[in-house]
Chains A and B, each alone.
Chain A
Amino acid sequence: MPTFVYMTRCDGCGHCVDICPSDIMHIDKVTRRAYNIEPNMCWECFSCVKACPHHAIDVRGYADFAPLGSSVRVVRDEEKGTIAWRIKFRNGKKDMELLAPITTKPWGTCIPKLSEVAGPTQEQRDSQLLFNEPKYIRMDDGGLHTLESNGLTMKAGVYY
């Protein structure tokens, strides 16, 4: 189900208008609060839900991760560097929470300075390889990269 806005929570700051990849979050002409102008075009990407500083936007989760009628709410806390999800089933009893890191370093401190990287040589320009590719995906240095060839090991379980 597409996004919808709790009018009493919205202060019309415009963060959702700014971030929406479909450009469908706009400001209402009467109440000057945000609303979804074209629900059919909403990808339910949760960008606006996470960007809203007042948690005024809600969207029901896809059926592939939350059952029908459940409440899926999210808090993206930039200062803590975490994202917290809460999925509450419609019977009100099953109530699940998840907390995960979204950054391990302060925002904006590790942006690659591409303008300072030396430009490609003529040979690199003529090559089929992409310029400045990370070494783990380059194919011109000893063939296919594997975990073993790079001194890495597989760990059991799911890691992010």
Chain B
Amino acid sequence: MITSNPFAELSALISTDIMQGYIVLMFILVVVGTVLDMMHKKSAKYFFENSKKQQAAAKRSVGGGEKAGLLVKTVASEVLTSSEFANVKRRISHLFTMYGFILFVVTTAMMIFTPAAEVSATTAQLWHIGAAMLCIGGYWFWFFIRVDLNSEGKTWYKLAQADIFIVSLLLTATFALLWSYTQFNGGKVGDMGLTALFFALFILSATTLFSTVLWSKFAHMFFKPAAAFQKRVTKADGSMENLPMDYDLTDPAVQAKFPDIPEYMGKNPSNMGPGIKREAPSHY
């Protein structure tokens, strides 16, 4: 099953033009949704104003080359490895979901836009692996890590608007795998059986995922990297978002400025380890 292209068999019933049109439509919906989301939340305006505030408070100017370096660091760290997450489990779950989503979306487009005979078994394999990764990361998040469960004490089946994204994403991947499985075992979408049901649910959840960008947190994949980049710039230019400096306690100048440090902690203070962070926040 894992090496078979589920869209190849489907093309007997639904023409590739329709499938390609559907992909283009979903792409347009994401672009329009993101622009509307940006206008509605005024996120671009916020970034612009925040950037002006930060420049006014800057202690040194950051050049173009340095900014490019910071951009590379942001992509390598915050974007590719989701390093912003304070919770390690959430970070791992996010990495599964993120790479699963990318694999799934890219291979879907490849399988639909390439003639069926030219689609390699590896592409189909990656499509299935992507969907499976989405399920692993997504269900782990949904049943165990979600802050609603851990910090708010809510039950896993209590849905809120914030769940549109994760639920539609999970259902898309789940029904895609179920559809592929039943179709591989002889089912046909045209027979109006289980295969047709799973395929219909797959299309329904995928349409929900890509058409609800304005109401879901889909757009976080665009603005989160921008926020992470801005955070790095504030550290580089010394504005620090008005936060205190990150002091080196062993620095004699710091010890002279704040004499309480050497008096109570010694000249070379040891690492005190985690305090409240020794326990996960789950004490609702």
How far is A97 from B56 in the complex, measured between Cα atoms in Å?
19
Q: Please tell me if B115 contacts chain A, counting CB pairs below 8 Å.
A: no
Q: B residues within 8 A CB of A100?
A: 258, 260-261
Q: Please tell me if B277 contacts chain A, counting CB pairs below 8 Å.
A: yes
Q: A residues within 8 A CB of B271?
A: 79-80, 106
Give the interface residue-count category, chain B.
35 or more
Q: B260, A101: Cβ atoms under 8 Å?
A: yes
**B144 to A: closest C-beta gap in Å:** 13
Q: A residues within 8 A CB of B152?
A: 14, 17, 26-27
**B36 to A: closest C-beta gap in Å:** 15
How far is A56 from B264 in the complex, measured between Cα atoms in Å?
30
- In B211-236, the 8 Å CB interface with A consists of 215, 217, 223-224, 227, 230-231
Q: Quick one: closest B residue to A28, CB to CB?
A: B162
Q: Of B147, B244, B273, which is within 8 A of A107 by CB?
A: B273
Q: B273, A78: Cβ atoms under 8 Å?
A: yes
Q: A27, B277: Cβ atoms under 8 Å?
A: no
Q: Of A14, A104, A106, which is within 8 A of B264 by CB?
A: A104
Our count of residue pairs bridging A and B at CB distance below 8 angstroms stands at: 146
Q: Of A8, A17, A86, which is within 8 A of B243 by CB?
A: A86
How far is A71 from B148 in the complex, measured between Cα atoms in Å?
31
Q: A75, B147: Cβ atoms under 8 Å?
A: no
- In A1-57, the 8 Å CB interface with B consists of 8-9, 11-15, 17-19, 26-32, 51, 53-55
Q: Which of B61-69, B83-91, B102-110, B181-189 contacts A (4 or more CB under 8 A)?
A: B83-91
How far is A26 from B148 in the complex, measured between Cα atoms in Å?
9
Q: Please tell me if A160 contacts chain B, counting CB pairs below 8 Å.
A: yes
Q: Please tell me if B276 contacts chain A, counting CB pairs below 8 Å.
A: yes
Q: Quick one: closest A residue to B279, CB to CB?
A: A18
Q: Please tell me if B13 contacts chain A, counting CB pairs below 8 Å.
A: no
| Interface SS majority for chain B | loop
Q: Please tell me if B270 contacts chain A, counting CB pairs below 8 Å.
A: yes
Q: A residues within 8 A CB of B151?
A: 14, 17-18, 27
Q: A101, B265: Cβ atoms under 8 Å?
A: yes
Q: A92, B281: Cβ atoms under 8 Å?
A: no
- In B25-46, the 8 Å CB interface with A consists of 43, 46
- In B148-182, the 8 Å CB interface with A consists of 148, 150-152, 160-162
Q: Quick one: closest B residue to A81, CB to CB?
A: B272
How far is A81 from B12 in the complex, measured between Cα atoms in Å?
67
Q: Of A17, A53, A81, A88, which is within 8 A of B242 by CB?
A: A88
Q: B244, A74: Cβ atoms under 8 Å?
A: yes
How far is A92 from B56 in the complex, measured between Cα atoms in Å?
9
How far is A95 from B224 in the complex, measured between Cα atoms in Å?
30
Q: Please tell me if B3 contacts chain A, counting CB pairs below 8 Å.
A: no
Q: Quick one: closest B residue to A103, CB to CB?
A: B272
Q: B243, A55: Cβ atoms under 8 Å?
A: yes
Q: Please tell me if B274 contacts chain A, counting CB pairs below 8 Å.
A: yes
Q: A29, B161: Cβ atoms under 8 Å?
A: yes
Q: B residues within 8 A CB of A78?
A: 272-277
**Can you list 10 A-B pairs with a CB-CB distance of less than 8 A?**
A14-B147, A14-B281, A15-B277, A17-B152, A30-B160, A30-B161, A75-B243, A101-B269, A103-B275, A104-B264
